[in-house]
């Protein structure tokens, strides 16, 4: 029995799924040091003796993001790039501002599950599973919704007032892939023939769509 438990634990630790998560800290903290020219899965640790309170601090999420854009939305992300002390801790936070009828377009976070809390207004949110099933909900102030890691999701403001959400993410560097940007705005561009076949559209329409990005 003991040998079986040990074997299962060894397999779990060696699986790609287990290694996909942010690394667990082996000390109190590991403040990101961006100066050394060493590439690792994260950042090199700053000498703990040089740590200061500012390494764990960020100010500004009380301020609304600039939503003066085509989408009418703005995400203000606080990750390891903004708080060096988040390195190895596996969390990040974001503020989401959406104007009436604005949209945070379909996107994924390849390294993080997201939990969203509505602080002001109303949002229609949803995510799509790997078998193309949509889970969606209209959220109001105080409501909470979870987007599983890696799945395409979106937030839309169907109301007439500015909406604000606060998101927590299970990675110090969640990553962001916007579906439309990735397909139509890649550099260099994906072949018209490929996109036309994938999206079942003619090449003229594909060319027009790419011009918007």
| Angle between the N-to-C axes of helices 203-211 and 192-199, in degrees from 0 to 180, rounded to the nearest 10 | 110
Please report which confidence band the pLDDT of residue 1 belongs to, taking 50, 70 and 90 as the band edges: low
Please report which confidence band the pLDDT of residue 26 belongs to, taking 50, 70 and 90 as the band edges: low
Instruction: Please state the rounded mean pLDDT for residues 108-131.
Output: 97
pLDDT over 90 percentage in the chain: 77
Q: Which has more confidence, 8 or 57?
A: 57
Domain-wise residue ranges, the chain = 1-175, 178-213
Q: Is the pLDDT of residue 37 over 70?
A: no
Q: Is the pLDDT of residue 6 over 70?
A: no
Give the separation between CA 74 and CA 60, rounded to whole angstroms: 14
Give the separation between CA 185 and CA 190, rounded to whole angstroms: 8
Please report which confidence band the pLDDT of residue 3 belongs to, taking 50, 70 and 90 as the band edges: low
Of 206, 205, 177, 202, nearest in space to 190 by CA? 206
pLDDT at 38: 66
Please state which CATH number belongs to domain 1-175. Answer: 2.60.120.10
Of 151, 211, 154, 153, nearest in space to 184 by CA? 211
Q: What is the DSSP letter of 85?
A: G
> DSSP of 94-124, one letter per residue?
EEEEE-TT-EEEEEE-TT--EEEEEEES-EE
- How does pLDDT run across 122-166, given as a tens digit for each residue? 999 999 999 999 999 999 999 999 999 999 999 999 999 999 999
């Amino acid at each position: 029995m003991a040998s079986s438990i040990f074997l299962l634990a060894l397999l779990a630790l060696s699986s790609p799924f287990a290694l996909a998560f942010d690394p667990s800290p082996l000390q109190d903290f590991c403040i990101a040091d961006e100066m050394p020219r060493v590439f690792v899965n994260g950042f090199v640790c700053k000498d703990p003796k040089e740590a200061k309170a500012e390494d764990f601090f960020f100010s500004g999420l009380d301020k609304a993001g600039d939503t003066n854009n085509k989408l009418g939305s703005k995400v203000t992300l606080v990750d390891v790039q903004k708080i060096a002390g988040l390195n190895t801790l596996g969390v990040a936070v974001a503020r989401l501002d959406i104007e009436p009828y604005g949209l945070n377009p379909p996107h994924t976070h390849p390294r993080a599950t997201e939990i969203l809390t509505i602080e002001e207004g109303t949002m229609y949110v949803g995510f799509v599973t790997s078998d193309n099933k949509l889970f969606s909900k209209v959220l109001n102030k105080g409501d909470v919704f979870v987007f599983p890691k890696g799945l395409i999701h979106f937030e839309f403001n169907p109301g007439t007032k500015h909406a604000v959400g606060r998101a927590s993410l299970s990675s110090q560097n969640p990553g962001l892939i916007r579906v439309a940007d990735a397909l139509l705005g890649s550099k260099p561009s994906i072949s018209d023939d490929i996109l036309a076949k994938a999206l079942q559209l003619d090449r003229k329409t594909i060319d027009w769509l790419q011009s918007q990005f």
